[in-house]
Amino acid sequence: MIDPMSIYLYRDGLVRLASEKYDPNKNFSDTYIHLTNYSLNKNNKCYDGDQHKLKLSQVLTGVLSQPPVKKGKPGVSRSANEIWNEIEDIVIKTIITVQPQLQHIYRSCQTKEPDCCFELLGFDVMLDQKLKPWMLEVNHTPSFGIDTPIDKEIKTALLTNVLEIMQASIDMRRKLSFEMKNEMKQQIVLNQYKRLSVQEHCEKVRFPNGLVEQITNNNFKLIYPQQAPGGDPDLYTKF
């Protein structure tokens, strides 16, 4: 939902790994070492579907450790919660950046309820040698193709949750539509009818944020608006 904006983060995803161990001394043309794309690595004889494509919820948990990059240098350990908070921060700042463009597109496509649209975006994030997340790209149309059992498990659950949210919204709007029509009839009879503005209409048909988490069994987490990671309630105000 775009205005006021709400951002939900799905608490699972896919982890893609290169099918051969990284070696900085090898040629950059060896794509199996430097790239993690499934469409590429599946053609490598060393590719193992059980090791090179994993569930995010099984990888990003507990404490993650990275061995020293050079001799004499300390290794790195970070909690999964800390990394998740940084990923949430990346997602929020990215969506805030494009919010005006998204709002214009939604209002152009749906004039009656422009602020009750949603979009499902795919974020590609990479962890560096210090286990710091960096955004690589945002997919406007993420792939929902199913090539492996783990694809089916993750993507089916995700789309099921999205459809459940949409159905809940539809059912609630039908109920509200009936109530609003009755309310309008009573106002007309009493000569008190006032046409709702777009904003007033959206406020009536918008369902509570907590309902999404309830419907999806907390698979979707509301990350904005709410207190920012780290406890600063004004962190995103300047954006």
- Residue 238 confidence (pLDDT): 66
Q: Is residue 169 part of a domain?
A: yes
When divided into structural domains, the chain yields a total of 1
Residue 19, classified by CB atoms within 10 Å of its CB into exposed (0-12), middle (13-18) or buried (19+), is buried
- Residue 207 confidence (pLDDT): 66
Q: Is residue 98 part of a domain?
A: yes
Domain that holds residue 107: 7-224
Q: Is residue 124 part of a domain?
A: yes
- Residue 31 confidence (pLDDT): 84
- Residue 239 confidence (pLDDT): 63
- Residue 108 confidence (pLDDT): 75
Q: Is residue 154 part of a domain?
A: yes
pLDDT tens per residue across all 239 residues of the chain: 566 678 899 999 999 988 888 877 776 778 888 888 888 888 898 888 888 899 999 999 999 998 887 777 888 999 999 999 999 999 999 998 888 887 777 777 765 554 566 788 999 999 998 999 999 999 988 988 888 899 999 999 999 998 888 777 677 777 777 888 888 888 888 888 887 776 777 677 666 767 888 888 889 998 887 755 555 656 776 66
Q: Is residue 177 part of a domain?
A: yes
Q: Is residue 233 part of a domain?
A: no
- Residue 74 confidence (pLDDT): 85
Nearest to 58 by CA among 80, 41, 40: 80
- Residue 233 confidence (pLDDT): 56
- Residue 113 confidence (pLDDT): 58
Q: Is residue 237 part of a domain?
A: no
Q: Is residue 234 part of a domain?
A: no
- Residue 140 confidence (pLDDT): 86
